[in-house]
């Protein structure tokens, strides 16, 4: 199947899952929340949305394997693997904070070649394929021209576990707050990356991440002209649990600030 056809089908699947999430949010009961771990929330909405995504993706690329947050399927693909977060921003969702997304990425031979992030509440679908540019609702997007950290707005995620690193994180956060236009904590790593891709933010950093949190957003940011590394400046950002993304112009400065504290 052509990558353009795969992309169109993936967008349709993400929108279908997003429509389900939107409907369920209208009558969601906080008492239906489960805990996978400390502060690690999940609900039937996450699980059912994942089933919608997995079922649709299986139809368009039957040979592909899956890496999914909720583990509704266990399958390794020899060439292709989907990386799926059916509801990125679950804590926002269960509390009624309107920022959460469906994130889907396709990995071919260990490289991300397609990414779709559907932000449910604003009905914004961000997407990209390798070498094909980045888009939001059919409009091309690109990173900001911001030349320095001091002029930048930075996104991050606050730790909700792995608190052994919290003191380092707070020192880093203080440094960036004092040397930028400000810091925002949106609550969905996938959306953070897309907002950097669209020029709404200038950079993003976070630790204790999972592959399904970032895989969809990473290729969108890269195709929008941005840069992504791990905290060491290397390329272990999909599975390495830490990531710095930026408009490229501020990357070395932002990365240097992170490394000064990590």
State whether 130 and 211 are in the same domain. no
Which residues constitute the domain of residue 217?
A: 149-260
State whether 67 and 119 are in the same domain. yes
Q: What is the CATH number of the domain that holds 25?
A: 3.30.540.10
Burial of residue 117, with CB atoms counted within 10 A of its CB: 0-12 exposed, 13-18 middle, 19 or more buried:
buried
Please choose, from the candidates 248, 230, 247, the residue with its C-alpha nearest in 3D space to the C-alpha of residue 239: 230
State whether 247 and 167 are in the same domain. yes
Is 209 annotated to bind a ligand? Reply is no
Write down which residue in 109, 140, 171 finishes a domain.
140
State whether 56 and 80 are in the same domain. yes
State whether 58 and 164 are in the same domain. no
The total number of structural domains that make up the chain: 2
Is 213 annotated to bind a ligand? Reply is yes
Write down which residue in 79, 111, 140 finishes a domain.
140
Tell me how far apart the alpha carbons of residues 148 and 229 are, in angstroms, rounded to a whole number.
18
Tell me how far apart the alpha carbons of residues 145 and 6 are, in angstroms, rounded to a whole number.
31
Q: What is the CATH number of the domain that holds 236?
A: 3.40.190.80
State whether 231 and 128 are in the same domain. no
Q: What is the DSSP letter of 159?
A: -
Q: What is the per-residue pLDDT for 190?
A: 98
Q: What is the per-residue pLDDT for 74?
A: 83
Write down which residue in 122, 140, 158 finishes a domain.
140
pLDDT tens string, the chain, 262 residues long: the values are 799 999 999 999 999 999 999 999 998 877 777 766 554 566 889 999 999 999 999 999 999 999 998 888 888 999 999 999 999 999 999 899 999 999 999 999 999 999 999 999 999 999 999 999 999 999 999 999 999 999 999 999 987 776 788 899 999 999 999 999 999 999 999 999 999 999 999 999 999 999 999 999 999 999 999 999 999 999 999 999 999 999 999 999 999 999 999 9
What are the residues facing 85 on neighbouring strands?
Answer: 103
Inter-axis angle of helices 166-178 and 251-261, nearest 10? 140
State whether 168 and 218 are in the same domain. yes
State whether 83 and 154 are in the same domain. no
Residue 94: other Cβ atoms inside 10 A: 21
State whether 106 and 233 are in the same domain. no
Is 221 annotated to bind a ligand? Reply is no
Q: What is the per-residue pLDDT for 251?
A: 98
State whether 136 and 155 are in the same domain. no
State whether 153 and 76 are in the same domain. no
State whether 164 and 110 are in the same domain. no
Tell me how far apart the alpha carbons of residues 187 and 41 are, in angstroms, rounded to a whole number.
13
């Amino acid at each position: 199947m052509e990558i353009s056809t795969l992309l169109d089908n993936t967008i349709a699947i993400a929108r279908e899952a997003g429509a389900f999430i939107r409907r369920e949010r209208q009558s969601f009961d906080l008492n239906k929340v489960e805990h996978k771990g400390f502060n690690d929330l999940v609900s039937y909405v996450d699980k059912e949305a994942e089933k919608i995504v997995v079922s649709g993706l299986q139809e368009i690329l039957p040979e592909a394997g899956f890496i999914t947050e909720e583990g509704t399927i266990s399958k390794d693909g020899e060439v292709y693997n989907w990386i799926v977060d059916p509801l990125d921003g679950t804590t926002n969702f269960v509390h009624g904070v309107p920022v959460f997304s469906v994130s889907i990425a396709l990995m071919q031979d260990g490289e991300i070649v397609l990414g779709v992030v559907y932000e449910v509440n604003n009905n914004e679908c961000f997407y990209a394929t390798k070498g094909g540019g980045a888009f939001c609702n059919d409009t091309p997007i690109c990173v900001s021209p911001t030349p320095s950290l001091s002029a930048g707005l930075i996104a991050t995620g606050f730790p909700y576990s792995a608190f052994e690193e919290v003191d380092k994180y707070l020192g880093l956060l203080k440094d960036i707050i004092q040397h930028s236009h400000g810091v925002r904590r949106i609550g969905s790593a996938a959306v953070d990356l897309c907002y950097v891709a669209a020029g709404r933010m200038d950079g993003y950093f976070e630790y204790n991440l999972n592959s399904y949190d970032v895989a969809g957003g990473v290729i969108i940011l890269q195709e929008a002209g941005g840069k992504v590394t791990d905290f060491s400046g290397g390329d272990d950002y999909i599975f390495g649990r830490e990531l710095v993304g930026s408009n490229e112009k501020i990357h070395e400065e932002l990365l240097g600030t992170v490394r000064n504290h990590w």
